[in-house]
Amino acid sequence: MRRPLVWATLFEFFLAVVALAVGAVFRFSPLAGLPDSAGGAVFSMTTGAAIFLGVSAAMPPLLLFFIFLRSDRPPFRRIRAILRRVLEPLLRSLTPLGAGVLSLAAGVGEEVLFRGLVMGAILLWLGPLPAVLASSLLFGALHWVTPAYAAYATLLGLYLGGLYILTGTLLVPIIVHAIYDAVALVLLASREGYLSDYGKK
């Protein structure tokens, strides 16, 4: 991987460290799962079931991503143009292994921060719905590329937050997030022109 991608991987892992440190200051563990005082999880899951659900639940957001890649609508074409300008030079040297490591870092770091710390803390104070909404809006805002992409990221945040509420374990959203990012990075780094203006004549 090129140095910027190495730094990106370290940064994503560092998000988890920050979340754990902030949680320690306030005596709150982002990794503890949903507390019983906040209603607990809707379903109780074994680790094996959580892994299976995480892999399966990655399919809907990946379907949306494929639509984004092939849509000829102006908002999506604008996002692809920005990503092409920013990411293509970096992704040319990205290997599948590098994509996997970076995606795992993003899945762990961002989910521990947004779902584990932010959503978990708000959930204790205000309940599930405000927690999911607030953490998803923050997730979308910090992924701002264009308004359409921020809305897309917010929708993904709602989905991941909903999975956390249903299962009570961060393992499910971490797996979904990591698989989604890995597939997205491999496709974007491929030579198949996925960032091209599809349908443009």
- pLDDT mean for each 10 residues of the chain (201 residues): 83 96 93 62 76 96 90 88 79 84 96 96 92 97 92 97 93 97 86 55 45
- The pLDDT tens digits for 46-90 are 889 999 999 999 999 999 999 888 888 998 888 888 887 877 777
Distance of CA 10 to the CA centre of its chain: 16
Alpha carbon distance 173, 180 (integer Å): 10
* Mean pLDDT, the chain, integer: 87
In a 3-state reduction of DSSP, which class is residue 103? helix
Q: Where are the domains of the chain?
A: 3-29+38-189
In a 3-state reduction of DSSP, which class is residue 114? helix
Alpha carbon distance 182, 57 (integer Å): 14
- Say what the pLDDT of residue 34 is: 65
Name residues whose C-beta falls within 8 Å of residue 42's C-beta, 6 or more positions apart in sequence.
Answer: 165, 166, 167, 168
Alpha carbon distance 101, 124 (integer Å): 32
Q: Tell me the pTM.
A: 0.89
